[in-house]
C-alpha cells in the first residue's frame, strides 16, 4: 500500500484579517477531508487593525463561506462602497470617481470608450462618469443592490464594503471555529527548521508547547515571522516606484449621511483617506517620509480633521514591495507577510483572497512538488506587479505643482510593463491586458480619464458614424442612468432599512 502523502496538519500563524480569512476558507474547502487546521495568534501582539475599505471580490469571498451581504454589513458595522473619489489628485479642485462597474455599453465589438472619444473628437465632450451607474449612484448618495437580471449593461455595476476590519476578522474567526479550526493564543518564540530540507518542523510557544505541522501559512503580518525570520525568502523593495512608506491612522465621529464611496484627498506629501462606517469614520494620512517629517504629517492631518478625531493618530511604517518567494519550502505567506504596496485602491485584502485561492488550486502533498511552488510564486509576482503598475499610474499622472512629492511622483521611471500599456493607450486608445490583472479595463479607463490622459484619436472604424445619431445615442444612455438612479433609496435609507446595527 502507498504511504499516505497527504498534508494532515496545517498551521496558520497569525490571527489578523489574513489569518482568519485563510482559516475560514481552507476549513470550508477541506471540510470532511481530515485536514486539521490550527491557528496561533498572540493577543499580546495584536493586529495591524486597519483595512477598512474593500473591493467587490470580498463579497464573492464571504459568499463562498455561506455569508450574505446584509449580514456581513451588519456584523461589521459596514457601509456600501461604490468606488473611490479622488479629490485634488490632478490639481487642486479636481475630482473624479473610480467606480466599480463599467462605463456605457460596448457595441459591434468596439469598446464604449471609443464611441465616447469619437463624440469628443466631434466637438461634444461629455463627462465619462455620466455613463456609469455606480458613479451616478455615488454622486447622488443613493444605493440599491444591482438587479440580478439587468435590462441592459447600463445597469451593470458592482459594490464593495467599508467595514470594521477587527469585526470582520471576528466574523471570520467564528466561521472558522464553527468549521473545526483550533485556536491557540500564545506567542511564538522560536521556529524550528530541518537542517537538511530547510523545512519548518515546529513552533515553540511561550507557554512551553511545541506545535508541529506539515504545511505552515505565515499570516504574521509585517513580522514575516516564518517566511523571512526563519526562511529568509527575501523582499523586493519598490519604494523607488511607490514613494509613500508611512501612514497615520485615526478614527473620528460618524458622518451623516454616510457617502457610498471612499474619499481620498491629495495632501502635501501623500493623500488622506476618509472611510465612513456606521459607528465611526476612519481617517488616515499616507505619506512619504522622504518628503515630510512625521511631526509635520501629523500636524497636516490634525489641521484637516483634528476636530473630528476621537483618538490620537497611530503611526504605521511600511516598505512598499513584495516577498521574493511568497512560498518557500513548506511555508506560504499570505497577507502583509507576503508584501504590501500601500492602502490606495484597497488591494491588500483582495490579495489575501487571491493568495488563498492560489493555495487551494496548488495545494501540495507532504512531499512538496517544486513545480507547484514555482507556479505559486510566478502567479503571485505577476499579480502583484500588475497591481503595482495600476497604483503607480495614479501618482505618475498627477499635474500638481505645489510640492516636491508630487513632482517626484511624475518623474518616476515607469516599469516596462506599465510604460507599454500607457503608450498603447495614448497612441491607439487600446487597453493592454496581461494575465493576473486584478483591475479590469473599466478601472484603467476611470484613472486615465480622471487624470485627463486621453488618446489623440479613436477607433477609425467609427469614422463613418453619423455624429448627430451618436450624440442622441449617448444622451439616451446618460438619461437611462439618471432615471434609474432617481428611483433608488438613499444610501442612508438602505443601511437603516436592511443593515443597521441595533
Task: List, by residue number, the catalytic residues.
Answer: 81
Binding to ligand FAD (CB under 6 A): which residues in 188-247? Answer: 188, 219-221, 223, 225, 247
Q: Exactly one of 25, 38, 47, 377 binds ligand FAD (CB under 6 A); which one?
A: 47
Task: Using the structure block, give the residue that is written with the C-alpha cell 458613479.
Answer: 135
Q: How far apart are CA 406 and CA 393, in angstroms?
A: 13
Shorter beta-carbon distance to ligand FAD: residue 16 or 78: 16
Q: Are the beta carbons of 75 and 167 closer than 8 angstroms? A: yes
Q: Exactly one of 29, 91, 187, 199 binds ligand FAD (CB under 6 A); which one?
A: 187
Q: Are the beta carbons of 279 and 77 closer than 8 angstroms? A: yes
Residue 202 pairs in a beta bridge with: 192, 212
Q: Exactly one of 11, 15, 238, 329 binds ligand FAD (CB under 6 A); which one?
A: 15
CA dihedral in degrees (360, 365, 366, 370; nearest 10)? -90
* Least Cβ distance, residue 286 to ligand FAD (angstroms): 6
Q: Does 76 engage in binding with ligand FAD (CB under 6 A)?
A: no
Q: Does 48 engage in binding with ligand FAD (CB under 6 A)?
A: yes
Shorter beta-carbon distance to ligand FAD: residue 88 or 224: 224
- 39 vs 22, 45, 48, 211, 212, CA distance in Å? 10, 15, 17, 10, 12
Task: Using the structure block, give the residue that is written with the C-alpha cell 487624470.
Answer: 451
Q: Does 171 engage in binding with ligand FAD (CB under 6 A)?
A: no
The three-class DSSP label of residue 417 is helix
> Could you tell me which stretch among 2-10, 37-45, 116-124, 390-398 binds ligand FAD (CB under 6 A)?
37-45
Task: Using the structure block, give the residue that is written with the C-alpha cell 509613500.
Answer: 244
Cβ within 8 Å of residue 182, ≥6 positions away: 36, 37, 38, 39
Instruction: Tell me the pairing of strands 246-252 and 314-317.
Output: antiparallel
Q: Does 52 engage in binding with ligand FAD (CB under 6 A)?
A: yes
> Could you tell me which stretch among 12-20, 357-365, 407-415, 489-497 binds ligand FAD (CB under 6 A)?
12-20
Shorter beta-carbon distance to ligand FAD: residue 15 or 101: 15
> Could you tell me which stretch among 48-56, 370-378, 432-440, 459-467 binds ligand FAD (CB under 6 A)?
48-56
Instruction: List the x/- string, 314-333, binding to ligand FAD by CB under 6 A.
Output: --x-x---------------
Instruction: Tell me the pairing of strands 339-340 and 210-212.
Output: unpaired
Q: Does 366 engage in binding with ligand FAD (CB under 6 A)?
A: no
Shorter beta-carbon distance to ligand FAD: residue 41 or 130: 41
Q: Does 50 engage in binding with ligand FAD (CB under 6 A)?
A: yes
Q: Are the beta carbons of 62 and 48 closer than 8 angstroms? A: no
> Could you tell me which stretch among 108-116, 234-242, 293-301, 336-344 binds ligand FAD (CB under 6 A)?
336-344
Q: Does 336 engage in binding with ligand FAD (CB under 6 A)?
A: yes
Cβ within 8 Å of residue 112, ≥6 positions away: 102, 103, 104, 105, 106, 131
Task: Using the structure block, give the residue that is written with the C-alpha cell 491629495.
Answer: 266
Residues in contact with ligand FAD by the rule CB under 6 A: 14-19, 40-42, 45-48, 50-54, 165, 187-188, 219-221, 223, 225, 247, 249, 284, 316, 318, 335-337, 343, 346, 348-349
Amino acid at each position: 500500500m502507498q504511504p499516505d502523502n497527504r498534508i494532515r496538519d496545517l498551521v496558520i500563524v497569525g490571527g489578523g484579517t489574513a489569518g482568519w480569512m485563510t482559516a475560514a476558507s481552507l476549513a470550508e474547502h477541506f471540510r470532511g477531508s481530515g485536514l486539521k487546521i490550527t491557528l496561533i495568534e498572540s493577543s499580546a501582539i495584536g493586529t495591524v487593525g486597519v483595512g477598512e475599505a474593500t473591493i467587490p471580490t470580498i463579497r464573492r469571498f464571504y459568499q463562498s463561506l455561506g455569508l450574505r451581504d446584509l449580514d456581513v454589513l451588519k456584523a461589521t458595522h459596514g457601509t456600501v462602497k461604490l468606488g473611490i473619489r479622488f479629490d485634488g489628485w490632478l490639481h487642486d479642485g479636481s475630482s473624479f470617481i473610480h467606480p466599480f462597474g463599467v462605463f456605457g455599453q460596448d457595441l459591434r465589438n468596439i469598446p464604449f470608450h471609443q464611441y465616447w472619444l469619437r463624440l469628443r473628437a466631434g466637438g461634444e465632450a461629455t463627462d465619462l462618469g455620466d455613463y456609469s451607474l455606480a458613479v451616478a449612484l455615488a454622486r447622488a448618495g443613493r444605493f440599491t443592490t444591482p438587479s440580478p437580471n439587468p435590462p441592459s449593461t447600463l445597469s451593470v455595476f458592482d459594490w464593495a464594503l467599508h467595514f470594521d476590519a477587527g469585526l470582520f476578522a471576528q466574523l471570520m474567526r467564528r466561521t472558522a471555529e464553527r468549521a473545526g479550526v483550533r485556536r491557540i493564543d500564545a506567542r511564538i518564540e522560536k521556529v524550528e527548521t530541518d537542517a537538511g530540507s530547510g523545512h519548518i518542523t515546529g513552533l515553540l510557544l511561550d507557554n512551553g508547547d511545541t506545535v508541529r505541522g506539515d504545511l505552515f501559512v505565515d499570516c504574521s503580518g509585517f513580522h514575516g515571522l516564518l517566511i523571512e525570520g526563519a526562511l529568509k525568502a527575501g523582499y523586493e523593495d519598490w519604494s523607488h516606484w511607490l514613494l509613500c512608506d508611512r501612514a497615520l491612522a485615526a478614527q473620528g465621529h460618524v458622518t451623516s449621511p454616510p457617502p457610498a464611496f471612499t474619499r481620498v484627498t491629495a495632501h502635501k506629501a501623500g493623500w488622506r483617506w476618509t472611510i465612513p462606517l456606521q459607528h465611526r469614520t476612519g481617517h488616515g494620512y499616507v505619506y512619504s517620509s522622504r518628503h515630510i517629517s512625521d511631526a509635520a504629517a501629523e500636524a497636516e492631518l490634525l489641521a484637516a480633521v483634528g476636530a473630528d478625531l476621537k483618538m490620537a493618530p497611530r503611526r504605521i511604517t511600511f516598505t512598499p514591495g513584495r516577498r521574493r518567494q511568497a512560498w518557500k519550502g513548506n511555508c506560504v505567506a499570505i497577507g502583509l507577510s507576503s508584501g504590501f504596496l500601500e492602502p490606495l485602491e484597497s488591494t491588500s485584502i483582495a490579495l489575501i483572497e487571491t493568495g488563498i485561492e492560489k493555495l487551494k488550486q496548488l495545494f501540495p502533498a507532504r512531499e512538496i512538488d517544486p513545480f507547484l511552488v514555482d507556479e505559486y510564486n510566478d502567479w503571485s509576482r505577476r499579480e502583484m506587479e500588475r497591481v503595482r503598475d495600476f497604483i503607480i499610474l495614479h501618482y505618475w499622472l498627477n499635474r500638481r505643482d505645489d510640492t516636491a512629492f508630487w513632482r517626484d511622483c511624475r518623474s518616476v521611471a515607469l516599469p516596462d510593463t506599465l510604460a507599454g500599456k500607457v503608450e498603447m493607450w495614448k497612441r491607439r486608445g487600446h487597453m493592454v491586458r496581461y494575465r493576473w490583472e486584478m483591475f479590469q479595463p473599466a478601472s484603467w479607463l476611470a484613472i486615465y480619464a480622471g487624470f485627463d490622459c486621453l488618446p489623440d484619436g479613436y477607433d477609425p472604424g467609427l469614422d463613418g458614424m453619423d455624429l448627430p445619431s451618436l450624440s442622441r445615442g449617448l444622451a439616451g444612455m446618460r438619461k437611462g442612468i439618471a432615471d434609474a438612479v432617481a428611483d433608488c433609496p438613499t444610501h442612508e435609507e438602505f443601511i437603516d432599512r436592511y443593515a443597521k446595527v441595533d
